[in-house]
Structure 1
Amino acid sequence: MDEHRYKPTTHAGGAWSTDEQHFSPLGGLVVHALDRHRAAAGDGGLVLSRISYDILGRLALDECEIEVETVRPGRTIELLEAVVRIAGRPVVRARAWFLARLDTSAVAGGPDDRLTPPEALAPWRMSGLWPGGYIASLDVRPVSPPRPGRTTAWVSTPLDLVAGTRVSPLASYLALVDTANGIAVRQPPTEWMFPNVDLTVHLHRPPRGDWTGLDTTVTFGPSGQGLTSTVLHDVDGPVGHAQQILTVRPLGT
């Protein structure tokens, strides 16, 4: 497509409805669009530290257009906004904070527990639980057997985010984060719906490697809301956190 338009393949097919897009690769595509916008403006060495996505409506498995604007320019702090449109209608709005890259290794600290490396783990056929081309495209390696509401797993894919285009490691990493809501289901998706209406990611360092580590807990409240909370990992340890708010309801309502 052109520099602002992208057409999904069947590998982006959704889990709740196979004629929709799964949000996960679209979330990575937004980061790719942010990267292109910053490169065109002259990348000042800033790093993505938070991105929040609001999912505004149905994500049809169709061509999308992504527009990016700089909301708050700066040499050390910058805020960008991206809007994804399908058939001319806004379906995702995202805001991303970029902060200055500085050497703070002398004071770096925090939890540093590492997950069992993915190459030491057996694959899990996640498509036995969820339909859709996106889920079928994944290589999922649970650290331990998945439990209702609690799973830790590595996720990767052999597919390019954008065919024939090199994307940043961060875009590839974030293209897998939304998978978290599907790895630790509390109730069978054949009986209950619990789609997320947002995704917010905070990072304390850039991730590296080809695997996205998801240490995920899912909570359902008593009044129709739920929360998927994830500690994000790469091969070197934790890199940040992700949160997804869920609308919980019986299937068919």
Structure 2
Amino acid sequence: MNTGSTAPDSYYVRTDEHRFKPTAHASGAWDETELHFSPLGGLVVHAIEGYLADRGPGGLLLSRISYDILGRLALEECEIRVETVRPGRTIELLEAVVRVAGRPVVRARAWLLAPQDTTGVEGGADDRLTPPERLAPWPMADHWPGGYIASLDVRPLAPPRPGRATAWVSTPLALVAAEPSSPLASYLALVDTANGIAVRESPKEWIFPNVDLTVHLHRRPEGRWTGLDTTVVFGPTGQGVTSTVLHDVHGPVGHAQQILTVRPVPGA
């Protein structure tokens, strides 16, 4: 593990009400001087939930969150501000903006919906995945550098193939040092890993980072494992899509989509 022995057992440390400093565990796979987006995605949800808690009881459920990555994610302290875009008692839209050195680097919008009892019409989801405790760990750090990847416990259901993999992902690290995080924030902090488990081409020869991440949920995830049933497609003109059915140990919880910019490594 190349995260350093002095790094806290978390991805972030809070420095004030709205600011967070990343640890070495949050460093990226494409560039270790940058953030990996995955824990930052969970941190945004952590900030949204803090914003909602400060307002008092509301009861709405985060059902979709869409992140747009606006620029380079430097491994530096960030500020997250949340505001209400569309208030409502049964449907609400929030926006969170992440800034590094005063510059917006991520803009996220989250739809919150009122809960209803729909157990009588529940259905349509895929089957459960093989439980993670029955599977062997996979050394993902052999394929990708960075502190974030080194922090993970990855357990594929079968050896990953180019463009196709199904795997469980978990981490022993906290999202924010000395702070509890919700199961939802902890779960979403691992979803962006999907783009790295089913690579179509060697990252030493091709670059294919995602510029967004959109997650739709039909059920609240539970437990410490994030299940990723992932397919990656590259098109002929430099675009790709990573599509994932999201699971917890009880079954599917939703879907994730990522648009990729695909290009050769200069000089490769």
Residue 32 of structure 2 corresponds to residue 18 of structure 1: yes
Task: Identify the match of residue 180 of structure 1 among 174, 194, 197.
Answer: 194
% identity of equivalent residues: 79
Partner of 2:114: 100
C-alpha displacement at 1:112, in angstroms?
A: 3.6
Task: Identify the match of residue 77 of structure 2 among 63, 71, 80.
Answer: 63
Task: Identify the match of residue 64 of structure 2 among 36, 39, 50.
Answer: 50
C-alpha displacement at 1:43, in angstroms?
A: 3.2
Residue 51 of structure 2 corresponds to residue 37 of structure 1: yes
Partner of 2:263: 249
Task: Identify the match of residue 95 of structure 2 among 49, 67, 81.
Answer: 81
Q: Distance in 2 between matches of 1:2 and 1:141?
A: 36
Task: Identify the match of residue 175 of structure 2 among 144, 161, 164.
Answer: 161
Matching residue's letter, 2:122: A
Q: Structure 1: any 5+ residue segments left out of the alignment?
A: none
Partner of 1:118: 132
Counterpart of 2:40 in 1: which secondary structure? helix
Q: What is the RMSD of the two structures over their aligned residues, measured on CA atoms?
A: 0.7
Counterpart of 1:127 in 2: which secondary structure? helix
Partner of 1:137: 151
Deviation sequence 1:128-176 (CA, Å, 0-9, x none): 0000000000000001111000000000000000010001100000000
Partner of 1:230: 244
What count of residue pairs does the alignment treat as equivalent?
A: 253
Counterpart of 2:120 in 1: which secondary structure? coil
TM-score by length of 2: 0.93
Deviation sequence 1:71-114 (CA, Å, 0-9, x none): 11111111000000000000000000000011111111112400
Counterpart of 2:47 in 1: which secondary structure? helix
Partner of 2:218: 204
C-alpha displacement at 1:14, in angstroms?
A: 0.1
C-alpha displacement at 1:252, in angstroms?
A: 1.9
Counterpart of 1:79 in 2: which secondary structure? strand
Counterpart of 2:61 in 1: which secondary structure? strand
Deviation sequence 1:34-76 (CA, Å, 0-9, x none): 0001111123111111000000000000000000000111111
Counterpart of 2:176 in 1: which secondary structure? coil
Matching residue's letter, 1:104: T
Partner of 1:127: 141
Q: Structure 2: any 5+ residue segments left out of the alignment?
A: 1-14
Q: Distance in 1 between matches of 2:84 and 2:112?
A: 11
Counterpart of 1:48 in 2: which secondary structure? strand
Counterpart of 1:239 in 2: which secondary structure? strand
Matching residue's letter, 1:27: G
Matching residue's letter, 1:3: E
C-alpha displacement at 1:23, in angstroms?
A: 0.1
